[in-house]
Amino acid sequence: MTKGHPPPAGFRLLPEYFDREAQEALVDELRLVLAKAPLFQPKMPKTGKAFSVRMSNCGSLGWVADINGYRYQPTHPTTGEKWPEMPSALRKLWKAVAADAPEPEACLINYYATTAKMGLHQDKDEDMFSSPVVSVSLGDTATFRIGGTTRKAPTSSMRLTSGDVVVLGGESRLAYHGIDRVLPGSSTLLKNGGRINLTLRRVTPDQ
């Protein structure tokens, strides 16, 4: 149930897109990814202020944030290694919900401990916005907020539960969005609790 002003056109919530078995399989694959590409702590450009969320990536490009800025790069910021391959289940998801878009290049992995939050922001570090951003929620339920394409536009909030998929396409591609809070103990998927969010993106224009 969405509370507040409706999200822009092109926003889609696909509740429980992944069933429990598929979620468990995805978590198993993510553990292998994170063993090779450990979670790191992103920092705000200029100020160096830490995010409460920890991050990693898989795919050919990964999003990183540090004192120097936000960017996509082919290697992990601390190990210097290439990002691990994107799990096939995620490529399959992209094909199913973003059929007209070129292959996804980046999968940002955000880990929210139960106290972590993400302020309202736009995903706009990509070089093209015609492909959607596709998100997968795993683990504890979160309160997600989405507004319009300006910071002052009215927002709405909704709960995202484990297995839910969100598609930010069309007008909603550049909508401000964020995570207000994670509800502790709301899922048994992750042994140590918290929430994993995956966001699949196309970064570079299709040639």
Partner DNA sequence: TAGTACCA
Partner DNA sequence: CGCC
What residues line the site for DNA (CB under 7 A)? 44-47, 49, 51-53, 63, 65, 70, 108, 117-125, 145, 151, 155, 157, 178, 180-181
Q: Is 152 helix (H, G, I), strand (E, B) or coil?
A: coil
CA dist list (Å): 162 to 15, 134, 175: 9, 15, 22
DSSP assignment, residue 170? G
Tell me how far, at minimum, the Cβ of 111 lies from DNA, in Å: 13
Tell me how far, at minimum, the Cβ of 11 lies from DNA, in Å: 17
Q: Is 48 left (phi over 0), alpha (psi -120 to 50) or beta?
A: left
Which structure tokens are listed for 15? 């509740």
In the bound state with DNA, the residue whose beta carbon lies nearer, of 126 and 164, is 126
Look-up: residue for tokens 């909508």?
Answer: 175
In the bound state with DNA, the residue whose beta carbon lies nearer, of 76 and 145, is 145
In the bound state with DNA, the residue whose beta carbon lies nearer, of 42 and 163, is 42
DSSP 81-133: PBPPPPPHHHHHHHHHH-TTSPPP-EEEEEEE-TT--EEEE----SS--SSPE
In the bound state with DNA, the residue whose beta carbon lies nearer, of 82 and 117, is 117
- Output phi, psi for 165, to 5 deg: -120, 135
Tell me how far, at minimum, the Cβ of 51 lies from DNA, in Å: 5
Burial string for 159-172 (b: 16+ CB within 10 Å, else e) reads bbbbbbbbbbbbeb
Tell me how far, at minimum, the Cβ of 151 lies from DNA, in Å: 6
Handedness of CA 95, 99, 105, 110 (dihedral sign): negative
Tell me how far, at minimum, the Cβ of 4 lies from DNA, in Å: 8
In the bound state with DNA, the residue whose beta carbon lies nearer, of 146 and 165, is 146
In the bound state with DNA, the residue whose beta carbon lies nearer, of 105 and 123, is 123
Tell me how far, at minimum, the Cβ of 60 lies from DNA, in Å: 17
